[in-house]
């Protein structure tokens, strides 16, 4: 699905990530962890072609990311749902329209019938007409998750999806993600929360990738 081969990236002259190789198999469940500022968000952005690697190759759905046109990238992003760390909404539109935005931009507005169901799934039915700035942090993250899955993507990438919520809500969000994984979606979650990883490991066979010293390591049983 998503494959990074010997990828190096740096925002300026200094390398943030070097020689990274990761392969996300269809249906797999990965966690990405590491200290703040180690490059988790950066790595995720490489995975949905928001950033282009300095060197190395990113392969998305069997295609070299370098060969994708701008429209190809747009189409590809409909197959990869993303929950961004800072959520990224259109602040002048109500939550319901924000969640349905991927459908609207893809010209598939007629499929918005599942919208109410989806909002109920993330517990936002009564906040559907609120504007994004009027929501709590946790509500925003749940709305972002709903938007990420509305196109029923093959891959779901979530950047700190439980960063702003209490433990109970974290578990609820985790359950949503596990449910999606059981439906066959490939999941990649960046998080600091080791308890969340432990809770997930009890339900699915999740692998844990850790960024350390600009490299990626497969974390063992030490969790």
Chain positions contacting other proteins, by CB under 8 A = 49-52, 70-71, 74-78, 82, 84, 88-90, 92-93, 97, 101-102, 104-106, 109, 147, 151
Q: Is 41 in the site for ligand ATP (CB under 6 A)?
A: yes
Q: Is 18 helix (H, G, I), strand (E, B) or coil?
A: strand
Separation of first and last alpha carbons in the chain = 27
Distance between CA 198 and CA 104 in Å, rounded?
37
Q: Is 32 helix (H, G, I), strand (E, B) or coil?
A: strand
Q: What residue 11 binds from Mg ion, other proteins, ligand ATP, none (CB within 5 to 8 A, per partner kind)? A: ligand ATP
Distance between CA 135 and CA 143 in Å, rounded?
9
Distance between CA 72 and CA 81 in Å, rounded?
15
**Residue recorded with tokens 């359950």:** 175
The two beta strands, 55-60 and 63-64, are: antiparallel
What's the token pair of residue 126? 């009564």
Q: CB of 142: closest distance to Mg ion in angstroms?
A: 19
Distance between CA 138 and CA 127 in Å, rounded?
12
x/- binding map, residues 58-87, to ligand ATP, per CB under 6 A?
Answer: ---------------------------x--
Q: CB of 15: closest distance to ligand ATP in angstroms?
A: 11
Q: Is 28 in the site for Mg ion (CB under 5 A)?
A: no
Q: What residue 46 binds from Mg ion, ligand ATP, other proteins, none (CB within 5 to 8 A, per partner kind)? A: none
x/- binding map, residues 161-200, to Mg ion, per CB under 5 A?
Answer: ----------------------------------------
Residues near Mg ion, by CB under 5 A: 40-41, 85
């Amino acid at each position: 699905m998503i494959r990074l081969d010997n990828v190096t990236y740096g925002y300026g002259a200094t390398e943030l990530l070097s020689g990274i190789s990761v392969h996300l198999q269809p249906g797999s469940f990965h966690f990405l962890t590491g200290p703040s500022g180690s490059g988790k968000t950066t790595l995720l952005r490489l995975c949905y072609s928001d950033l282009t690697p300095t060197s190395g190759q990113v392969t998305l759905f069997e295609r070299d990311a370098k060969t994708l046109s701008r429209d190809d990238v747009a189409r590809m992003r409909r197959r990869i749902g993303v929950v961004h760390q800072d959520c990224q909404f259109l602040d002048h539109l109500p939550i319901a329209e924000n969640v349905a935005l991927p459908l609207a931009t893809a010209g598939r507005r007629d499929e918005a019938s599942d919208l109410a169901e989806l909002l109920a799934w993330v517990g936002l039915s009564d906040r559907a007409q609120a504007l994004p700035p009027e929501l709590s942090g946790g509500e925003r993250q749940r709305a972002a998750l709903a938007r990420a899955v509305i196109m029923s993507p093959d891959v779901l990438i979530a950047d700190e999806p439980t960063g702003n919520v209490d433990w109970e809500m974290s578990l609820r969000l985790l359950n949503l993600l596990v449910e999606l994984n059981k439906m066959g979606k490939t999941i990649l979650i960046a998080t600091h929360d080791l308890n969340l990883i432990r809770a997930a490991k009890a339900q699915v066979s999740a692998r844990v990738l850790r960024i350390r010293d600009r490299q990626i390591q497969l974390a063992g049983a030490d969790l």
